[in-house]
Amino acid sequence: MEAQELRDAYINFFKARGHVQIRSASLIPENDPTVLFTTAGMHPLVPYLLGEKHPAGTRLCDYQKCVRTGDIDEVGDASHLTFFEMLGNWSLGDYFKKESISYSFDLLQTVLHIDKEHLAVTAFAGDENAPRDTETAELWKSHGLRDDQIFFYGKKDNWWGPAGQTGPCGPDTEIFYDDGRPKCSPDCGPSCHCGKYTEIWNNVFMQYFKDKDGKFSPLKQKNVDTGMGLERALRIVNKAETVYETPLFAGIIGKLEELSGKKYADDKKSFRIISDHLRAATFLLADGVVPARMGGGYILRRLIRRASRYMSRLGIEGVHMQEIAEVVVHEYSQAYPELEEHKDTIYQQITAEEEKFHSTLNKGLRRFSEMVAQQGDRKNLDGEAVFHLYDTFGFPIELTKELAEEKGYEVDVDDFNDRFKKHQDESRMDTNQTFKGGLVDHSEETTKLHTATHLLDAALRAIVDPNIFQKGSNITAERLRFDFNLDRKVTPEEIKKIEKWINDAIKADLPVVCEEMSYEDAKKKGAIGVFSNKYGERVKVYSIGNISCEICGGPHVTHTGELQGFKILKEQSAAAGIRRIKAVVGNFD
C-alpha cells in the first residue's frame, strides 16, 4: 500500500463517520512556548480539548506532521525516526469509548486488513486517581478479542497526558500488532521490547483534568484523542522489515543509491540516518525553521550535519542535499503542499548549510591534526578532546575513531561515552523542562499579548515593509516574542513609530471581532495566515478594527484598550534574514 492510499483511506473512513478533515498544522507550534516542535496530532488541538469551540465541529480527523528529537542519536536502528506522520481522529465532547473502540476495530479490519488474531490491546489497570478500565476491556471483548489478547497496565504505560503539568488527561487503550512469534518470556506482552508487539494506535480517553496540586477531577467535556503512526502502520500493512523498507523511503533511498553507487543493503545504518534526517530537515525548512545555534534551528543544524557525515561515509562527495530534498518535495507535496510552495527556500537553505558544514569539517580536520601533533608519544586520544571535536565540529565518534586509527592512535571511547551520556542527559533535561512548562496558557496576560502580537504584525507591515510576515511567535505570561523576515535591523526611529502606531490603536479602543468562515471567504476578506482551501475547512478570523485581519485560533481580548499600553523591549537578529522583537503590554504612563 502506498502512503497516500493509507492517508486517504484513514481520512475517508472517518469522514464517512461524520468527521471533518482538518489540515496538518505547522511543525512550529503556534503560541506554545513549552515545546520546540509539534510532537503529536493533539498538539494543535489543545485549546479545543480544554473546551474552546472548534470551528469545524466536534468530530475531527487529520494527518499531522510531527517531529520528536529526544533520540536523534538512536536514529539508524530499525524503529527510531525524528520526523513522522500521525493519523488522528478526535471527539471533542462527542462520542466516547464505545464508538472510539468500534471505529478503531473496524478500520483495523477493513482498511489495514489486520487479522483479529494478530491484535493485542491494553487498558488501564486502575490506581488511586482512576478506576480499572474494565469498560474498555469489555468493549474489546464485544468485538471478539479474547482475555489473553487484553493486557492491563498502570499509569506508566496506559495513561496519556497532561502534556504539561496541568490539563486534560486520561486512561488510554493502545493497540498493538502481534507478529505471532512465541512470547520471549512468561511476562512478555505489549510493553515488552522483544519485537513481538508493535504499537499501531493509541486511543486516549480524556476524562480527567489534572490541576497544579496534582489532583484529578472529572472533565465536563469528555474527549477522545487518537494517534496512529503512519510509518508503522504502513510497515505492518506492507509486511516490511522496518519503516525504511516502506514506500515512504523508497524514492529517497533510491536517490542515495544513485549518488553513492552503493546499495542500501551495503550500509543500512547510513542510508537510514540520511533518509530520516533529510526528510525531517526538508519539512522543517518548509515551515520556516532556519539553521541556528539555539532551539529548533540547532536541531535542524544537527540533522543536516549528521546527514552530511553519513553521506561522506557512503562516499558521496560534493554538495548533493538539494537532490534529496527534491525527492522529498516531489513525493510529499500532494499531502503537504507547503513543500512545493517553499521549495526555493528549502533548496537555498539546505545547500548553504551543507556548504557551511563542509568548511567547518575542514576546520575540524585541521584541529584534529593539531591534537595529534600535541599527542607526542601518547597513543591514546583523551575523551575531552574527542568530545570537543564532536561538540564543536559535529564529528561523530565513528569519524574521529577512523581518523585516529589511520594515524595509529586509539580513542578513549569509554571516556567519550561518559561525556556524551552526561551531555545527552542534560539536553534531555532541557527538553523535558521545556515540556513541563505546562500547556498553552490562556491567562488574561497571555490573551492580551496574543492580541498585541497581531497589532505588532500589522504595524511592521505598515511602517517597515509590506512584505514582512510572521516566522515564529512565542508568548509567555511576561512577554511576547515575534520573529519575522527582514534582512536588516529595525532602526530606533522605526521602533518608536511602531510603538506609537500600536499605542494609538490601543487608545482608540478598537473592537476585536471573531468570525467563523470558510478559507475561501477568509482569503477574500484579505485575512493573513496559513491558507489551504483543500478541505473547505472553516476557520476563525480575528479582525482588529480595520487594521488587522488574521486567521487564528484565539483567544483574544474584546477591545484593544484592555492592553493599556505597548512597549518594545528588544530588537535583535534571530537567524540569517530573520529579526526578533520582544515586547510587553501594560500601563507605562
CA-based nearest residue to 457, from 478, 480, 487, 489: 480
CA-based nearest residue to 299, from 268, 331, 276: 276
In three-state form (DSSP H/G/I as H, E/B as E, the rest C), the secondary structure along 37-90 is: CCCCCCHHHHHHHCCCCCCCCCEEEEEEEEECCCCHHHECECCCCCEEEEEEEE
Least Å from the CB of residue 263 to ligand SER: 35
Decide: helix, strand or coil at residue 287.
coil
The window from 39-47, 269-277, 441-449, 504-512 that contacts ligand SER (CB under 6 A) reads 39-47
Least Å from the CB of residue 54 to ligand SER: 16
When asked if residue 41 is in the footprint of ligand SER (CB under 6 A), the reply is: yes
The window from 34-42, 430-438, 538-546, 577-585 that contacts ligand SER (CB under 6 A) reads 34-42
Least Å from the CB of residue 52 to ligand SER: 18
On the 0-12 / 13-18 / 19+ scale of CB atoms within 10 A, 168 is: buried
Between 42 and 311, CB nearer to ligand SER: 42
Least Å from the CB of residue 182 to ligand SER: 28
User: Which residue of this chain has its Cβ atom nearest to ligand SER in the complex?
Assistant: 227
Between 76 and 229, CB nearer to ligand SER: 229
Q: 227: Cβ–Cβ under 8 A, 6 or more apart, which residues?
A: 40, 41, 42, 86, 87, 88, 201, 202
Least Å from the CB of residue 130 to ligand SER: 17
Binding mask 204-243 for ligand SER (x = CB under 6 A): x--------------------xxx----------------
Least Å from the CB of residue 90 to ligand SER: 9
Binding mask 149-178 for ligand SER (x = CB under 6 A): -----------x------------------
CA-based nearest residue to 249, from 69, 78, 24, 39: 78
| Options 21, 69, 202, 308; binder of ligand SER; rule CB under 6 A | 202
Q: Provide long-range contacts, Cβ within 8 A and 24+ apart, for 426-429.
A: 428/70
Least Å from the CB of residue 137 to ligand SER: 19
Helices and strands in the chain, H and E counts? 18, 18
When asked if residue 475 is in the footprint of ligand SER (CB under 6 A), the reply is: no
Residue-wise over 562-585: b if at least 16 C-beta within 10 A, else e? bbebbebeebeebbeebbbbebbb
Q: What is the spatial distance between Cα 366 and Cα 214, in angstroms, rounded to a whole number?
A: 54
Between 199 and 465, CB nearer to ligand SER: 199
CA-based nearest residue to 121, from 202, 41, 237, 184: 202
Site for ligand SER (CB under 6 A): how many residues?
10
Between 227 and 555, CB nearer to ligand SER: 227
The answer to whether 436 touches 212, Cβ cutoff 8 Å, is no
Between 175 and 386, CB nearer to ligand SER: 175
Calculate the CA 157 to chain-centre distance: 22
When asked if residue 88 is in the footprint of ligand SER (CB under 6 A), the reply is: yes
531 beta partners = none
Between 166 and 202, CB nearer to ligand SER: 202
Between 123 and 385, CB nearer to ligand SER: 123
Q: What is the spatial distance between Cα 286 and Cα 290, in angstroms, rounded to a whole number?
A: 9
Least Å from the CB of residue 230 to ligand SER: 12
When asked if residue 555 is in the footprint of ligand SER (CB under 6 A), the reply is: no
Decide: helix, strand or coil at residue 508.
coil
| Options 25, 40, 252, 289; binder of ligand SER; rule CB under 6 A | 40
Between 68 and 277, CB nearer to ligand SER: 68
Least Å from the CB of residue 536 to ligand SER: 25
The window from 8-16, 24-32, 40-48, 513-521 that contacts ligand SER (CB under 6 A) reads 40-48
The window from 38-46, 277-285, 324-332, 383-391 that contacts ligand SER (CB under 6 A) reads 38-46
Q: From the CB of residue 307, how many other CB atoms can be counted at a distance below 10 Å?
A: 24
Between 205 and 264, CB nearer to ligand SER: 205
Between 40 and 468, CB nearer to ligand SER: 40
- Give the alpha-carbon dihedral of 290, 292, 297, 300, to 10 degrees: 90
The answer to whether 220 touches 209, Cβ cutoff 8 Å, is no
Distances (CA, A) of 232 to 64, 216, 228, 241: 15, 33, 8, 10
Between 208 and 264, CB nearer to ligand SER: 208
Between 42 and 385, CB nearer to ligand SER: 42
Amino acid at 307: A
| Residue keyed to cell 529579526 | 579
Q: 221: Cβ–Cβ under 8 A, 6 or more apart, which residues?
A: 49, 51, 92, 93
Least Å from the CB of residue 217 to ligand SER: 20
Residues that bind ligand SER (CB under 6 A): 40-42, 88, 160, 202, 204, 225-227
